[in-house]
Chain A
Amino acid sequence: MRRFLRPGHDPVRERLKRDLFQFNKTVEHGFPHQPSALGYSPFLRLMAIGTRSGAIKLYGAPGVEFMGLHEENNTVMQIHFIPDQCQLVTLLDDNSLHLWSLKQHSGASELREEHRFTLKGPPGSPPSATQVTAVLPHSSREVLYLGTESGNIFVVELPSFRVLEDRTITSEAVLQRVPEDYSNRRSCELVEALREHPKNPDQILIGYSRGLIVLWDLQNNKATHHFLGSQQLENLYWQRDGSKFISCHYDGSYTQWPVSSDNRQPEPLENLVPYGPFPCKAISKIYWQTTKNGLPYIIFQGGMPRASYGDRHSISVVHGSQQTAFDFTSRVIDFFIIFSSEPTAEFDDPSAMVVLAEEELVVIDLKTAGWPAVHPPYLASLHCSAITCSHHVSNIPLKLWERIISAGSKQNIHYSNMPWPIDGGTNVAPDPPQRDLLLTGHEDGTVRFWDASGVCLHLLYKLSTVRVFLTDADPNDNMNTLGEDEWPPLRKVGTFDPYSDDPRLGIQKIYLCKYSGYLAVAGTAGQVLVMELNDEDAEHVVDHAEADLLQDQEGYRWKGHEKLKTRDGPVRFEAGFQPFVLVQCQPPAVVTSLALHSEWKLVAFGTSHGFGLFDHQQKRLVFVKCTLHPSDQLALEGPLSRVKSLKKSLRQSFRRIRRSRVSSRKRRGGSGNASEVQEANAKFDQDTLQEMELAPVQRKIEARSAEDSFTGFVRTLYFADTFLRDSSRHCPSLWAGTNGGTVYAFCLRVPPAERRMDEPVRAEQAKEIQLMHRAPVVGILVLDGRSTPLPEPLEVAHDLSKSPDMQGSHQLLVVSEEQFKVFTLPKVSSKLKLKLTALEGCRVRKVTVANFGSCKTDDYSENDLAVLTNLGDIQIISLPFLKLQIRYPCIRKEDVSGIASCVFTKYGQGFYLISPSEFERFSLSTKWLVEPRCIVDMPEVTSNNHVHNKSGMENTARKS
């Protein structure tokens, strides 16, 4: 019956495939895109971040993280942990409430949505009546108080979300004992804040937006105190002992109120406008933290003078005479203070401030003098300058790893030594199998080295190439260090800096040799830098060579950007990777491909005009090859000719624009306006839809020809020691593939080590293959006699790979966007091929050789091609027979930047950007799986005092 099986449907192979391949999206690295809410549980020591797309992420100790997604994909407005519980409640902008819990399941905790609920008013009531504005999870853990736009406070039972109507606190009841003249002036308006009394759970403080604050007795269902605020209220905060609380206001002021049994309508103790006397912006949140030495920490968000500093995103910390206004790089979403939550402790003794800004997380150490920042182990802002490329290196030798860490630690001296303060949960994931580096190139000319071994993507070291060049902006220019007034005492914190002074500095290609520590980096203006790792600071001259890729081609005029100007004389470089040679391509077009051979000491680079080979030992250009087609005019224009760079001076105005946009998107209210906008948008959509129907999108069907644009664009470069000329002698070779489907092979003669400096490296063109389908060549690979891909340079020398088989005949694999083809060597004749596009209509975007090990046995592994297509599918294709093994949908096909950013590892994992600031990590392997696995211990829920003692702040003595 075997003959009835379809070819390729071998059951043994099918079983093996199950042991080898498995697709998982394992973890999201980086900073959540568009965060919208922050929550913290001092009990669990976990932080929660909600996003505008409805995601909720929990973070604790490094490696402890959870993710959940609301089905509605609506903005998360608020997050509240239930006191002493592994539960939290989220409020979305559609006014729905969601109860999430962390439950243990087969040895690890999981975040799951348990219930959802939308508050409904009586029939006919306006939607504002039930629009939730404030949420208070009561320490009893049984009820949730929901303040609304109408001023009423509803009580719902947990976890069922059943409304306890008899316990509703209506605004009428609240206003009963308020003086007539006050209540006439101000109706209650919406509930701005709800705060439970820190000592007495039967009392809650209710703050209404117009300024009225009421202390409400839950037992007797009546207001015990009325605090008649005169300013529009923003937020409230209890002092630890419950004797005072503090309110902050829209006009930039804060007020202290006493709470005592004798005065039921007290006057404020203190009313202060910290950045007065000129009109100030609102203080939207405030903390009052007591300390042993008596001087409190007063920490508040906003309050800056409206006219001169209204555009700053600041949080001020005041402690006695010390005052710093931390100036964030983006809008502050929310912040919290980590302080002693031991109930026995007399003082708050704040230790750290955690600030969620729109683009990054900043943690300030409040214990150490000078209040330095703490280096976060996760939530790194990958996009502090836009990512332009990435490069992954697996299995880094320990020596190099330590040297990179050491170089990085010298850069991080200004960070606090404080251990990471958010340390809840236990990471139970196995140790990462190996040390992996992810290198990201950025628009500002930097390369960042990330520890990508485990769940926490952690910055190890940052390399800047800017120092080599003279740019318009002084590298030390920082708009805050100069001309900053003493008052307000602003201090810039954070690393997010998306504005590039010179887009030509952008990094386009990176190649790191993990054995030798050589690094090649190439950029937007045709610059290729070769660097070496040096553990010490050094000052030296960077050698400079030009590679004229147009050669004898005449009549061309480069219309693009100019090359970067270099610094004359020696340049000081800090410890780390230090450039020693710069090869400048002419014309200075963006470098499109790069290869480094650390054993031969050669670097190859390609642009849209051609490619070249440089001997970085002798610092001599070996050869250049022009690939430009004479009729290709487009290739002459620089891609940046129409893009203007954003100068620093423009940043402020940008910030203002952005700020005004943000503020116009009001948190609530103005609903009539919003619907109008929606209507207009819908109409616009309809109009464009109609227009589309009138003039449909058409696609031209035409064979590619040699005259197409950008055929000379060099897409891939590859070094190989193989049989190029005859089958008896192998030699070093360089292979290049172009956009027009041409493959060039050059035979290289590299002098033996002892004469390496004396004799020149020679190159001779040996072959040229024109693929008739003319699709861009995206990958070239040589397979040895055992059909194994040739090892990386120095891999054999370091005993990390078997020597390639030089007995059997080698094969050449050429991957174009449309086909995979295997050719024989040295006589190039086609052996077999896989025509992907003709069969499926998809195109190859990324391709890498990956090693897959079996999860069943340790002694079986095989090499396959991991392929990402333009439709966002990932396919695994076997070597050397080019059989499709398996296919997984991975990225939405509309997500062009996600697809472009994808990088595969050598062991079947990969990364791609799901937003400018986040990498999604995925795994194709059953064996190598890096995913969070952690436990958050459930507290004993029932009535023992043990919990109460431990949990502190949210005292639960309800019956007392």
Chain B
Amino acid sequence: MNRPHRGAAGSRGLGTMEVKTEFRRFSLERSKPGKFEEFYGLLQHVHKIPNVDVLVGYTDIHGDLLPINNDDNYHKAVSTANPLLRIFIQRKEDADYSAFGTDTMTRKKNVLSNVLRPDNHKKKPHIVISMPQDFRPVSSIIDVDILPETHRRVRLYKYGTDKPLGFYIRDGSSVRVTPHGLEKVPGIFISRLVPGGLAQSTGLLAVNDEVLEVNGIEVSGKSLDQVTDMMIANSRNLIITVRPANQRNNVVRNSRTSGSSGQSTESSLPSSTPNILANFLQGEEESDEEDIIIEDSGEPQQIPKAAPTSESLESLTQIELLHESTQNGFLPSSEMNLNHSAGSISMECEVQDPDHKSLEEDGTIITL
């Protein structure tokens, strides 16, 4: 699988009038694409623009211009390249965000014309929205491909304390199909959404949705308090699998015929699902907690985690600050801490994916 790809078409819009375009072609190893940051560095190096912020996009198999700005979509881009991966690079401040998105390519307008002649579109001013990396996601539906259609797995991202998660759960009972016929079994349900809360604002959860799993762990057999504790313990990266009370908005998968609304899937929920999710979570869960250490020297300085050494088990924001005896006078200083851990430890501890997150200012992590 060492088939080399041909690389990128770079373009830089240097203003509305002057357009200067460069093309470069280079190869990447498909099986080991590496990290986005490395790739980004490579692009900057190849184009000799070491200090210029750029947006990176590519055309996917449907011809859409899609952004590359993290490991996930970078890997996706590499894996779908067939065989050529076309990459578009724009200087960030000149970027035309409207070029991105689905249908951008199918609008029968050459993507290049979008990029190279942006003024074509500027007859009516449209709202400029920033790149996905400037947003942070608040929620997503995940694992649609592995869940029964009647279920929905919702991920809520909680940042800081500005917006409450804002929902309540209760005990209840639901009817299940079992080998012995219909049975009433106890279940946990969403009982209330707080107006303005995260849960309500996503629109993905509703009152009377039955909670089936919390972060990959089934709630059946657990008490309301146990489920509450699990949810709160996972509150920074909460993944709830629900069976929506309203089954009309289910995602209908292509492979399914419309006739089967999935009533028989209740009891046949694939047992492998929690494992899949658990695997998926392994890499993700580290994002939820960044303990803060305040030491007796140094200033509160957020230091992004250094280039991952692939052995770090957890990222930590280290804030060094000086204490004058026990008073709270802070003096600036700067010291960086690299996480290190012995290999022998990592053998014994739970297997965790190397941390590959970048850090935002508040120390929390974005994962798209």
Contacts and interface: CB of A to CB of B under 8 A. Distances in A.
Contacts of A833: 314
29 contacts: A698-B168, A699-B168, A699-B169, A700-B228, A701-B168, A702-B166, A703-B164, A763-B326, A766-B296, A767-B293, A769-B292, A770-B291, A771-B291, A772-B290, A772-B292, A773-B236, A773-B289, A818-B233, A829-B314, A829-B341, A830-B313, A830-B314, A831-B313, A837-B229, A837-B230, A838-B234, A839-B217, A841-B222, A842-B226
B232 interface: yes
A830 B326 contact: no
Contacts of A763: 326
Contacts of B316: 828-830
Contacts of A482: none
B119 interface: no
A113 B329 CA distance: 73
A651 interface: no
Contact of A838 (B222, B233, B313): B233
Contact of A768 (B171, B235, B294): B294
A120 interface: no
A847 B215 CA distance: 26
Interface in A833-853: 833-835, 837-843
Interface string A802-843: 000000000000000011010010011111111101111111
Contact of B289 (A707, A725, A772): A772
A739 to B, nearest CB: 14
Nearest to B238: A701
Nearest to B347: A881
A764 B169 contact: no
B224 A697 contact: yes
Given A703-B161, A773-B289, A697 B171 contact: yes
A696 B323 contact: no
Nearest to A878: B348
B340 interface: yes
B86 interface: no
Contacts of A702: 164-166, 232, 235
Contacts of B323: 764-766
Given A837-B230, A838-B234, A841-B229, A882 B349 contact: yes
B143 interface: no
Interface in B136-174: 158, 161, 164-172
Contacts of A770: 291-294
A769 B235 contact: no
A764 B226 contact: no
Nearest to A838: B233
B230 A832 contact: no
A827 B337 contact: yes
B225 interface: yes
Given A703-B158, A766-B296, A827-B337, A843 B229 contact: yes
A920 B32 CA distance: 60
A703 B199 CA distance: 13
Nearest to A700: B168
A602 B169 CA distance: 47
B296 to A, nearest CB: 5
Contact of A881 (B294, B337, B348): B348
Contact of B296 (A698, A706, A765, A841): A765
A496 interface: no
Interface in A740-793: 747, 763-773, 775
Question: 9 closest pairs, A vs B, by CB?
Answer: A841-B226, A703-B235, A837-B233, A832-B349, A699-B228, A841-B230, A768-B294, A830-B314, A772-B289
A777 to B, nearest CB: 12
A623 interface: yes
Given A766-B296, A830-B314, A703 B226 contact: no
Interface string A294-325: 00000000000000000000000000000000
Contacts of B192: 698
Interface string A334-364: 0000000000000000000000000000000
B37 interface: no
B191 interface: yes
Nearest to A836: B233
Interface in A110-130: none
Q: How large is the interface on B (under 10, 10 to 19, 20 to 34, 35 or more residues)?
A: 35 or more
B198 to A, nearest CB: 10
B206 interface: no
Interface of B: 158, 161, 164-172, 191-192, 199, 214-215, 217, 222-236, 285, 288-296, 313-314, 316, 318, 323, 325-326, 337, 339-341, 345, 348-351
A7 interface: yes
A544 interface: no
A828 B293 CA distance: 7
A767 B295 contact: yes
**Residue in A697, A703, A819, A833 with the greatest tally of chain B CB atoms within 10 Å:** A703
A819 B191 CA distance: 28
A7 B215 CA distance: 21
A832 B291 contact: no
A773 B287 CA distance: 12
A838 B170 CA distance: 19
Contacts of A648: none
B209 to A, nearest CB: 13
Contacts of A871: 226
B349 A881 contact: yes
A831 B291 contact: no
Nearest to B313: A832
Contacts of B348: 832, 881, 883
A730 interface: no
Interface in A862-920: 870-871, 881-883, 893
A625 B337 CA distance: 27
**Residue in A773, A824, A829, A870 with the greatest tally of chain B CB atoms within 10 Å:** A829
A707 B162 CA distance: 12
B235 A701 contact: yes
Contacts of B350: 832, 834
B336 to A, nearest CB: 11
B222 A698 contact: no
A704 interface: yes
B289 A701 contact: no
Nearest to B326: A765
